[in-house]
Copies of this chain bind each other. A is one copy, B any other.
């Protein structure tokens, strides 16, 4: 098998250009002053479907053969991947089935259905979503679209970094959230291909530190189901393909607490008027909490998504006096 490279990302960009928003890059002199760096925020929370997941899904779906297109696609996800696949499928006129848990947030189920996908519910306690998705795939011939562990998905997510560098030029460092590793592996591969050196950090919730532990040990480590507010980081282990790329392209994995994440969400909403979900706010959380070993540098940060459930938003803010200052 050939190695994953920036050429995969460049090819994906050609295929998905008309399907995804070229999202804006936000800056804030207040953030620069607070962190002592010059910070560029790539706003994938403003992406169609509310996250970067549309990129990978579009990258994969544009490679389906006519026969595969006719049979449709299937995916399992309670979160942004569901919306990404559903939206990409609608754009391309492909039938999509999404396997979602019965206790998924109403808003996410409705958004996914709103994009025209068929929803298949399962009981998180008693049923295995992968088995259900595989059975649907075998019975209908629908193509299973994995959330991250696939070169075509990783390539799509990497287009985020391509756009960021095109917009702002050279950067000293890039901070990328890491769940399964699709976004991080794609973006790190783009960064490594540049002429000037870029230090790439993955940022992870300390309550969901599977990639941190794996990176330290050099082998994929599995953790018990994590209870972090960052719902996009609740995978138990890094992807196999993504982790191979992360190992050779990423400088370090930084950890942030759930309180660091809440503080970053508050800063982004009150000072920058941007709604960012917990997983999407980890890069700013690392900067504000002093977890990034950088000073006077040009730093790119990927805000990976903005799909926040209201109970989470209320918890992050709690509308206390503290949050008013």
Chain B residues lying within 8 Å of A317, measured Cβ to Cβ, are 310
> Taking the nearest CB of chain B, how far is it from the CB of A305, in angstroms?
9
With A46-B26, A310-B319, A317-B310 already in contact, the answer to whether A107 and B275 are too (CB < 8 A) is no
> Taking the nearest CB of chain B, how far is it from the CB of A29, in angstroms?
7
With A106-B324, A324-B106 already in contact, the answer to whether A50 and B273 are too (CB < 8 A) is yes
CA distance A151 to B311 in the complex (A): 46
* Nearest chain B residue, comparing its CB with the CB of A320: B310
* Nearest chain B residue, comparing its CB with the CB of A23: B24
A224 within 8 A of B: no
CA distance A107 to B267 in the complex (A): 13
Chain B residues lying within 8 Å of A311, measured Cβ to Cβ, are 319
Chain B residues lying within 8 Å of A50, measured Cβ to Cβ, are 273
Tell whether, in the assembled complex, residue B272 and residue A274 are in contact, meaning their CB atoms are under 8 Å apart. no
* Nearest chain B residue, comparing its CB with the CB of A266: B310
Chain B residues lying within 8 Å of A45, measured Cβ to Cβ, are 273
Q: Which of B21, B46, B107, B276 contacts A324 (CB 8 A)?
A: B107
Chain B residues lying within 8 Å of A272, measured Cβ to Cβ, are 46
A126 within 8 A of B: no
Say whether chain A's binding surface is mostly helix, strand, loop, or mixed.
helix
* Nearest chain B residue, comparing its CB with the CB of A110: B325
Tell whether, in the assembled complex, residue A46 and residue B319 are in contact, meaning their CB atoms are under 8 Å apart. no
A:292-325 near B, CB below 8 Å: 306, 309-311, 313-314, 317, 319, 323-325
Q: Which of B29, B107, B313 contacts A48 (CB 8 A)?
A: B29
A11 within 8 A of B: no
Tell whether, in the assembled complex, residue A319 and residue B324 are in contact, meaning their CB atoms are under 8 Å apart. no
Q: Which of B110, B273, B309, B325 contacts A274 (CB 8 A)?
A: B273
Tell whether, in the assembled complex, residue B46 and residue A306 are in contact, meaning their CB atoms are under 8 Å apart. no
A105 within 8 A of B: yes
CA distance A164 to B310 in the complex (A): 32
A269 within 8 A of B: yes
Tell whether, in the assembled complex, residue B273 and residue A106 are in contact, meaning their CB atoms are under 8 Å apart. no
> Taking the nearest CB of chain B, how far is it from the CB of A241, in angstroms?
30
> Taking the nearest CB of chain B, how far is it from the CB of A268, in angstroms?
9
CA distance A27 to B24 in the complex (A): 12
A:31-51 near B, CB below 8 Å: 45-46, 48, 50
CA distance A274 to B110 in the complex (A): 20
* Nearest chain B residue, comparing its CB with the CB of A272: B46
Extra 17 A-B pairs, beta carbons < 8 Å, given A46-B273, A310-B319: A21-B27, A24-B24, A26-B46, A45-B273, A46-B272, A46-B274, A107-B270, A107-B324, A107-B325, A110-B325, A269-B275, A273-B274, A273-B275, A273-B306, A274-B275, A310-B317, A313-B319
A-B contact list, 30 entries, CB within 8 Å: A21-B27, A24-B24, A26-B46, A29-B48, A45-B273, A46-B272, A46-B273, A46-B274, A50-B273, A105-B324, A106-B324, A106-B325, A107-B270, A107-B324, A110-B325, A269-B275, A270-B275, A273-B274, A273-B275, A273-B276, A273-B306, A274-B274, A275-B275, A309-B324, A310-B317, A310-B319, A310-B323, A310-B324, A311-B319, A314-B319
